[in-house]
């Protein structure tokens, strides 16, 4: 065994062990999305349909960011949950510091897919196959992808780090909205509670607003 590592390095190494498969898969997906979107857009006949196809692929970035954030957050806490946090709590480290280090280690893992999106986006942006009248936004797309991943990861990390009871409250809140909507609909009242709740979260300045709107690499 080599020399005693720093606490940060030890946490990072364990995180890499748990999430490297996920990070590499994310990098693969992140690299493929821009290239696939260009490939399918090139098959279209007009500039308008080229843009529409590129936009249609936009939802893929949002889904990938959400999925990566969710799975990395779950993986960050998975083994501590399984071991009932006994090991983590018995380490001579303040709890807040342990949580912060685990959070940062997860972020480092998420950097791989973000870098992959950036590289592939740059390749597409510099491709001669993109119609000259259109603009590429590789940096903007990468930043948005990175921010969305960060938001999803932070949200699910916080939920995962909380107790089962807290997670229950959140799920209970969602269930309550759905049940309320069913009751309202059966009473023939014209109130769309679910849509309003979704707008509240996904429309600006909602918590998950970054996932809404247009995600596009090539636009006018």
Partner 1 sequence: MTLAIETQSLGYAPGRGFQISNLNMKVPVGSLYGFLGPNGAGKTTTMRLLLGLLPAARGSITVLGEAMPAAHVQVMSRTGYVPERPHIYPTLTVDEALRFHSAFHPRWDQPWAEELRTQFNLVPDRRVGALSKGETGKLMMLLALAQKPDLLMLDEPTDGLDPVVRRDVLEALLSYVSVHQATVVISSHLVHELERICDWIAVMDRGSLVAELPMRQFKDGIKRLSVADAPATLAATPFTILARRPDNGSGEQWLVRGWSSDMQSYFGAPGATLRKIGDLDLEDGFVELLRSFREAK
Is 100 a binding residue for partner 1 by CB under 8 A? The answer is: no
List 45, 46, 90, 128, residue binding partner 1 (CB under 8 A): 90
Phi, psi of 135 (to 5 degrees): -110, 145
List 28, 91, 104, 176, residue binding partner 1 (CB under 8 A): 91
Nearer to partner 1, 14 or 127 (CB): 14
Q: Hey, CA dihedral for 156, 160, 161, 164, is it positive or negative?
A: positive
Instruction: Name residues whose C-beta falls within 8 Å of residue 123's C-beta, 6 or more positions apart in sequence.
Output: 34, 35
Q: Which of residues 59-88 bind partner 1 (CB under 8 A)?
A: 79, 82-83, 86-87
Instruction: Report the alpha-carbon distance of residue 74 to residue 65 in Å, rounded.
Output: 14
Structure tokens belonging to residue 159: 């939920």
Instruction: Report the alpha-carbon distance of residue 117 to residue 26 in Å, rounded.
Output: 9
| Three-state DSSP class for residue 83 | coil
Is 4 a binding residue for partner 1 by CB under 8 A? The answer is: yes
Nearer to partner 1, 97 or 126 (CB): 97
| Three-state DSSP class for residue 5 | coil
CB 191, min distance to partner 1, A:
41
| Three-state DSSP class for residue 219 | strand
List 48, 89, 179, 189, residue binding partner 1 (CB under 8 A): 89
List 13, 42, 59, 179, residue binding partner 1 (CB under 8 A): 13
Size, binding site for partner 1 by CB under 8 A: 23
- Partners of 218 in beta bridges: 136
Nearer to partner 1, 16 or 169 (CB): 16
CB 218, min distance to partner 1, A:
42
CB 95, min distance to partner 1, A:
8
Structure tokens belonging to residue 64: 């990938």
List 10, 70, 74, 162, residue binding partner 1 (CB under 8 A): 10
The H or E element spanning position 136 is strand 135-136
Q: How many residues are recorded in the chain?
A: 220
Nearer to partner 1, 17 or 214 (CB): 17
List interacting residues with partner 1 (CB under 8 A): 1-2, 4-7, 9-10, 13-14, 17-18, 79, 82-83, 86-87, 89-94
């Amino acid at each position: 065994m080599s020399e005693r590592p720093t606490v940060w390095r030890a946490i990072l190494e364990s995180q890499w062990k748990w999430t490297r498969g996920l990070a590499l898969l994310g990098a693969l997906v992140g690299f493929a999305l821009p290239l696939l979107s260009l490939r399918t857009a090139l098959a279209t006949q007009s500039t308008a349909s080229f843009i529409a196809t590129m936009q249609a692929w936009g939802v893929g970035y949002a889904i990938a960011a959400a999925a990566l954030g969710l799975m990395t957050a779950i993986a960050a806490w998975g083994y501590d949950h399984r071991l009932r946090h006994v090991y983590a709590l018995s380490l001579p480290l303040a709890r807040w510091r342990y949580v912060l280090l685990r959070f940062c280690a997860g972020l480092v893992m998420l950097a791989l897919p973000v870098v992959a999106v950036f590289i592939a986006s740059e390749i597409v942006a510099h491709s001669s196959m993109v119609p000259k009248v259109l603009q590429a936004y590789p940096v903007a797309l990468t930043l948005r992808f990175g921010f969305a991943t960060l938001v999803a990861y932070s949200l699910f990390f916080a939920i995962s780090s909380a107790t089962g009871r807290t997670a229950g409250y959140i799920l209970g809140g969602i269930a309550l909205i759905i049940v309320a909507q069913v009751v309202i609909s059966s009473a023939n009242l014209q109130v769309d509670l679910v849509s309003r709740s979704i707008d509240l979260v996904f429309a600006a300045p909602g918590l998950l607003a970054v996932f809404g709107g247009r995600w596009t690499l090539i636009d006018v």
